[in-house]
Amino acid sequence: MRTRSARLAISAAALATAALSLTACSSGGSSTAASGSTTASQSASALGSTGTSSQPSTSTGTGSTATSGTSSSSLRTQAGGAASVVPCATGQLKATQQDASVGAGQYYSKIVFTNVSGTTCTLDGFPGVSYVKQAGVQSGNAAQRSGGPAHVVTLKPHGTASAVLHDANGIGGYDPSQCRLSQAQGLRVYPPNQKAALFIPWSTQHCAGPTIHSLTIGPVQAG
């Protein structure tokens, strides 16, 4: 009986030990699962954080590219503006009178503009022309516009453009009391669209009466 009781005691102890082992294993598995869940959660959180922070970086890059594009466009516009041809200023030009011809009481000549600057420019329209006496005082009425239409003429450095000047030769058939024949010392010439004038020496007689409008000027043409 004692032997049987001892065996039963040993069996009971073994069963208790086995039960404790199973409990320990179960507890360890739960801990591992919890640890894995925590790690996965931390990893997911870390990945989510990284993805979010990368978006501002991408956005910043896109913004920078757009700004650069705008700057490039602005530079192209500025470059295009710098390269565009501008109207000839009076200081860029020299004016002379050429190809004079007289016949049947009429006088014709050309007012020639030469680009004396180192920059290409344009002329467009009609010059302003009038006779002047000594000290630059205007004599008679300014030239009226004749002919047309006007076209833009591009003048490279040393290039020329001209406009035809016409007037009666002397009295030219006018009544002397209306003509009021006067002595001029030259021509005051305003390039198209300019407020500063050039002077062409020319000693000549012309009708300076207030009702006389015999002086005419054509549009600027190439050559």
82-128 per-position pLDDT tens digit: 468 999 999 999 999 999 999 888 999 999 999 999 999 999 999 99
Q: Are residues 157 and 67 in the same domain?
A: no
Clarify whether residues 72 and 120 are in a common domain.
Answer: no
Does 102 share its domain with 3? no
Give the Cβ contact number of residue 7 at 10 Å: 10
Give the span between the Cα atoms of 35 and 29, in whole angstroms.
10
- Say if residue 97 is in the same domain as residue 203: yes
Last residue of a domain, one of 65, 84, 103: 84
Q: Do 183 and 134 fall into the same domain?
A: yes
Looking at 53, 84, 115, the residue that finishes a domain is 84
Residue 133: predicted pLDDT: 95
139-148, pLDDT tens digit by residue? 999 999 999 8
pLDDT (average), residues 25-47 = 38
Mean pLDDT, residues 198-222: 96
pLDDT of residue 104: 82
Contact 141, 200 (CB under 8 A): no
Which domain CATH number covers 180? 2.60.40
Q: Which pLDDT does position 10 carry in this prediction? A: 45
Mean pLDDT of 27-50: 38
pLDDT at 172: 82
pLDDT at residue 214 greater than cutoff 90: yes
Q: 165 versus 30: which is more confidently predicted? A: 165
Tell me the C-alpha distance between 221 and 164, whole Å: 9
Residue that wins the pLDDT comparison between 182 and 60: 182
Q: Choose among 133, 102, 114: nearest CA to 202.
A: 133
CB neighbour burial string for 179-202, b if at least 16 within 10 angstroms, e if fewer? bbeeebbbbbbbbbebeebbebee
31, 61, 71, 95, 149 from 54: Cα distances, Å? 34, 11, 26, 69, 65
> Using 50, 70 and 90 to split pLDDT, how confident is the model at 33?
very low
Last residue of a domain, one of 19, 52, 84: 84
pLDDT number for residue 171? 86
Beta strands 121-123 and 86-87, pairing class: parallel
* Number of compact structural domains in the chain: 2
* Range scoring the smallest mean pLDDT among 4-8, 153-157, 171-175: 4-8
- 76 & 109 share domain: no
Q: How far apart are CA 143 and CA 109, in angstroms?
A: 13
Residue-number span of the structural domain to which 43 is assigned? 1-84
Residues 116 and 165 in one domain: yes
Residues 25, 93 within the same domain: no
Checking if the pLDDT of 156 tops 60, the result is yes
pLDDT for residue 148 = 85
Lowest mean pLDDT among 1-5, 113-117, 176-180: 1-5
Task: Indicate whether 75 and 172 sit together in one domain.
Answer: no
Tell me the pLDDT of the chain averaged across its residues.
74
Residue 189 sits in the same domain as residue 112: yes
Residue 24 has pLDDT above 50, yes or no: no
Integer Cα distance of 203 and 200 in angstroms: 10
Distance CA 147, CA 12 (A): 133
pLDDT over 70 (residue 179)? yes
